[in-house]
């Protein structure tokens, strides 16, 4: 128990040690060629100045090599500092301590506000970001900017679609649903057919997934502009969100969907072993499915557009999507901006990302190219899923606004949805409680609520 006591005491200690900035070799600020030892990749041109990059993209090493080979005047020194929250934790600590952050960092668009409010990201407009604006999908660009400022260069997006098991659908005699009404009917039919599968999962910890479903029904949870950072509008319990949550609550109560936590081992297994007939997924979902080691080779996967509330007025939404931002700690901000804009801002780099890393590009020359549209996916039996599903979804996406305390908002959302699924409160109550807790938090944090 003593070890445990020390370990816990270490939370205080570790925080403080990290904050005093005496963390030694970990923060290799970049710039100096002598610090090349900490790079994961090999530096091609040792004479050129280096820019440190944190990123977790799949197959990123090949993209880095491609960039380094193509550039004599700048070299990327890449480190994988963990995925998502793992990386943000490190970045957050280095912001607090004032050192140790990389020059360029991969951030999901949903957390950009959380970092801009701490003055830790560089506005890229002064380095010519607006000149390349036309090269990127509109919604993705919108996500990466706030007002007139551009805080990151979008790399990949997550337009949503519906990936489903054709074999399970056929066995139960179900047609592919195009609206949520049909989706519910299909769920009932599947259950009545005696199939072992449910139509899908409604994860209480779905975070951005749940938020995307709300957005599809017109929910606009936050109003926030980094030009006016002390003010925020919070509307997490608007009609759209309530409609969606009531719908899913109904499915849960009738036992038509599972409520497993997403991205756990259980969930991953159920995704591929036929427990779920549908995987409501972002464009990166197929890559994720393929990566699961037990992916069932006999399963017949197909992709279709996300079901709609109103088939006449389809609304496209996005789940995830990441960007490159330049940190305030970057030694040479112009050079860092060049890397942020350049690494996936060319067809060779982006194509590597698409082919090797299964990224869904935000870079227009690739996104709009016939090669990308016509790409046939073996996993889907040769279906051209980009043309059939995801390109439309990406084109229809108009961007979203996230709060500067998105992590807190997500954690609270998870708690409320869990309480709902447990039958402790109804959908409307859960969202009202969420609204109250977020308003209180925002006030405590010194925001004025619009």
Partner 1 sequence: MATTTAPTSSHPAEATNQVKHRPDRNYRRKQRWGWLFVAPFALIFLTFLILPLVYAFRMSLFTSTLATGNKFVGGDNYIKAFSDPIFLQGLGTVAKFALIMIPAQMLVALVAALVLDNLATWASKFSRLMIFIPYAVPVVIGALMWGFLYSPRFGPASSIFGIFGLTAPDFLAQDNIFGSLVNIVTWQWAGYYMIIIYAALRGIDPGIYEAAVLDGASDRQIALRIKVPMISSSLVMVVIFALIGTLQFFTEPQVLRGVAQGAIPVSYTPNMYAFTLAFSYSQFNYASAISFALGIVVFVFSFIFLFLTRKQSGLK
* Rounded distance between C-alpha atoms, residue 248 and residue 257, angstroms: 8
Does the footprint of partner 1 cover residue 175 (CB under 8 A)? Answer: no
Question: Strands 104-108, 50-54: parallel, antiparallel or unpaired by DSSP?
Answer: parallel
C-beta of 3 vs 134, nearer to partner 1: 3
**CA within 13 Å, CB half, 421:** 22
Beta carbon nearer to partner 1, 9 or 46: 9
SS3 206: coil
What is the DSSP track for 72-136? SS-EEEEE---STHHHHHHHHHHHHHT----SEEEEEGGGHHHHHTTT-B--GGGGTGGGGGGGB
Give the single-character DSSP code of 386: I
- The answer for residues whose C-beta is within 8 angstroms of residue 302's C-beta and 6 or more apart is 163, 164, 166, 176, 380, 381, 383
Site string for partner 1, 70-109 (x = CB under 8 A): ---------------x---x--xx-xx-------------
Question: Counting contacts by CB under 8 A, is residue 421 touching partner 1?
Answer: yes
User: Which residue in the set 28, 75, 106, 205 belongs to the binding site for partner 1 (CB under 8 A)?
Assistant: 205
Phi/psi for 258 (5° steps) reads -85, 165
Nearest distance in Å: CB 291, partner 1:
18
Residue 434 tokens read as: 């969420």
- What is the nearest approach in angstroms of partner 1 to the Cβ of residue 10? 9
Which one of residues 180, 202, 360, 405 is an interface residue with partner 1 (CB under 8 A)?
405
> Within 350-369, which residues bind partner 1 (CB under 8 A)?
none
Q: How far is the CB of 418 from partner 1 (least distance, A)?
A: 3
- C-beta of 258 vs 391, nearer to partner 1: 258
**Contact call for residues 219 and 240 (beta carbons, < 8 A):** yes
- CB atoms < 10 A from the CB of 105, how many? 29
Give the CA diameter of the chain: 68
Please choose, out of 11-19, 215-223, 304-312, 331-339, the segment that lies near partner 1 by the rule CB under 8 A.
11-19
Minimum CB separation of residue 261 from partner 1 in Å reads: 5
Task: State yes or no: residue 445 binds partner 1 (CB under 8 A).
Answer: yes
**Smallest separation (angstroms) from partner 1 to the CB of 25:** 16
> What's the closest the beta carbon of residue 61 comes to partner 1, in angstroms?
27
Q: Is 415 exposed, middle or buried (0-12, 13-18, 19+ CB in 10 A)?
A: middle
Our CB check for partner 1 shows the closer of 65 and 411 to be 411
Other CB atoms within a 10 A radius of the CB of residue 428 amount to 16
Instruction: State the angle between helix axes of 85-97 and 2-20 in degrees (0 to 180), rounded to the nearest 10.
Output: 60
User: 75, 79, 94, 114: which one contacts partner 1 (CB under 8 A)?
Assistant: 114
**Could you tell me which stretch among 52-60, 158-166, 291-299, 406-414 binds partner 1 (CB under 8 A)?**
406-414
Tokens representing 349 are: 């780099």
Note the Cα 37 to chain centre separation in Å: 30
204 in contact with partner 1 (CB under 8 A): yes
Nearer to partner 1, 162 or 232 (CB): 232
> Counting contacts by CB under 8 A, is residue 418 touching partner 1?
yes
Q: Which range in 3-11, 69-77, 169-177, 303-311 contacts partner 1 by CB under 8 A?
A: 3-11
Judged by CB, which is closer to partner 1: 2, or 313? 2
**CB 397 within 8 Å of CB 139:** yes
11 binds partner 1, rule: CB under 8 A: yes
Single out the residue of 24, 265, 297, 378 in contact with partner 1 (rule: CB under 8 A).
265
Q: Write down the least CB distance from residue 351 to partner 1, Å.
A: 35
The residue among 77, 59, 317 whose CA lies nearest residue 212 is 317
Rounded (5°) CA angle 325-206-361: 40
Region 268-307 residues binding partner 1, contact defined as CB under 8 A: 269-270
Residues that bind partner 1 (CB under 8 A): 1-5, 7-9, 11-17, 19-20, 85, 89, 92-93, 95-96, 114, 117-118, 204-205, 229-230, 261, 264-266, 269-270, 404-405, 407-408, 411, 414-415, 417-418, 421-422, 444-447
């Amino acid at each position: 128990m003593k070890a445990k006591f020390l370990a816990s005491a270490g939370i205080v200690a570790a925080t403080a040690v990290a904050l005093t900035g005496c963390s030694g070799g970990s923060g290799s600020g970049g710039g100096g060629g002598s610090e090349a030892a900490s790079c994961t990749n090999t530096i091609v041109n040792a004479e050129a100045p280096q820019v440190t990059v944190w990123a977790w993209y799949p197959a990123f090493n090949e993209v880095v090599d491609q960039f380094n080979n193509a550039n004599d005047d700048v070299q990327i020194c890449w480190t994988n500092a963990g995925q998502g929250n793992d990386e943000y934790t490190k970045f957050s600590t280095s912001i607090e301590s004032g050192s140790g952050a990389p020059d360029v960092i991969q951030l999901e668009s949903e957390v950009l506000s959380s970092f801009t409010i701490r003055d830790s990201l560089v506005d890229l407009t002064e380095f010519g970001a607006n000149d390349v604006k036309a090269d990127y999908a509109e919604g993705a660009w919108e996500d990466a900017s706030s007002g007139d400022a551009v805080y990151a260069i979008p790399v990949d997006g997550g337009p949503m679609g519906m990936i489903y098991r054709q074999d399970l659908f056929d066995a139960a005699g179900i047609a592919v649903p195009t609206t949520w009404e049909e989706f519910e009917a299909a769920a009932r039919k599947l259950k009545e057919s005696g199939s072992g599968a449910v139509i899908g999962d409604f994860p209480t910890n779905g975070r951005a997934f749940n938020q995307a479903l709300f957005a599809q029904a017109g929910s606009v949870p936050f109003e926030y502009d980094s030009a006016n950072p002390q003010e925020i509008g919070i509307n997490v319990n608007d009609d759209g969100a309530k409609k969606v949550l009531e719908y899913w609550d109904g499915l849960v109560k009738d036992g038509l969907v599972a409520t497993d936590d997403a991205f756990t081992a259980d969930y991953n297994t159920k995704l591929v072993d036929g427990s779920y007939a549908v995987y409501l997924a972002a464009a990166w979902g197929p890559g994720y499915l393929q990566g699961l080691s037990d992916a069932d080779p006999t399963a017949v996967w197909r992709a279709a557009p996300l079901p709609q509330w109103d088939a006449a007025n389809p609304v496209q939404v996005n789940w995830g999507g990441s960007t490159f931002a330049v940190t305030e700690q970057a030694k040479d901000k112009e050079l860092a901006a060049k890397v942020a804009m350049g690494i996936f801002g060319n067809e060779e780099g982006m194509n590597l990302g698409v082919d090797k890393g299964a990224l869904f590009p935000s870079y227009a020359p690739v996104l709009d190219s016939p090669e990308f549209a016509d790409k046939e996916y073996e996993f889907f039996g040769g279906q051209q899923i980009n043309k059939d599903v995801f390109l439309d979804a990406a084109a229809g996406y108009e961007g979203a606004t996230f709060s500067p305390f998105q992590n807190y908002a997500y954690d609270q959302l998870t708690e409320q949805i869990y309480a709902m699924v447990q039958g402790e409160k109804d959908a409307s109550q859960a969202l009202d409680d969420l609204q109250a807790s977020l308003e209180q938090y925002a006030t405590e944090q010194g925001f004025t609520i619009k």
